[in-house]
């Protein structure tokens, strides 16, 4: 059983569309991170959110940490083929990172 549940599991959209990926848990986390992983490579950190209610923007990507620090979302505006990859959320507690199962995003040109 995953500590962090991500939805949807798969997402396929056309270039230029928007998408949102969700990460939910019954546990409270000190911080939450989002990673992107491309085939044959390790995950790469996109952002860390720490404060409940925090919103961070990274170009076309917007990350939100829930008020209760149990959930998070990642929104991509005007998706591009280069956004294709596996998006992983990870919660930090007790000196450990717990990862969600990931959302596979495919952006079609």
Partner 1 sequence: DSGVTQTPKHLITATGQRVTLRCSPRSGDLSVYWYQQSLDQGLQFLIQYYNGEERAKGNILERFSAQQFPDLHSELNLSSLELGDSALYFCASSVGTQGRLGETQYFGPGTRLLVL
Sites of contact with partner 1 (CB under 8 A):
2, 30-33, 40-45, 48, 50, 88, 90, 92, 94-102
d(CA 24, CA 86): 17
Q: Name the minimum Å distance from CB 87 to partner 1.
A: 12
Which residues lie closer than 8 Å to 15 by C-beta, 6 or more apart?
79, 80, 81, 107, 108, 109
As a whole number of angstroms, the distance between CA 41 and CA 35 comes to 12
Specify the residue, 17 or 38, whose C-beta has the smaller distance to partner 1: 38
Task: Decide whether 22 or 99 has the Cβ nearer to partner 1.
Answer: 99
Residue 94 CB, nearest approach to partner 1 (Å): 7
Nearer to partner 1, 35 or 79 (CB): 35
Residue recorded with tokens 């199962």? 101
């Amino acid at each position: 059983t995953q500590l962090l549940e991500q939805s949807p599991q798969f997402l396929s959209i056309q270039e230029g569309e928007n998408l949102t990926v969700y990460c939910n848990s019954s546990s409270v986390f000190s911080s939450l991170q989002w990673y992107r992983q491309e085939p044959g490579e390790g995950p790469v950190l996109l952002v860390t959110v720490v404060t409940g209610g925090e919103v961070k923007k990274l170009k076309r990507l917007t990350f939100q940490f829930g008020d209760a620090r149990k959930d998070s979302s990642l929104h991509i505006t005007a998706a591009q083929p280069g956004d294709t990859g596996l998006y992983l959320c990870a919660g930090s507690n007790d000196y450990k990172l717990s990862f969600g199962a990931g959302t596979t995003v495919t952006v079609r040109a």
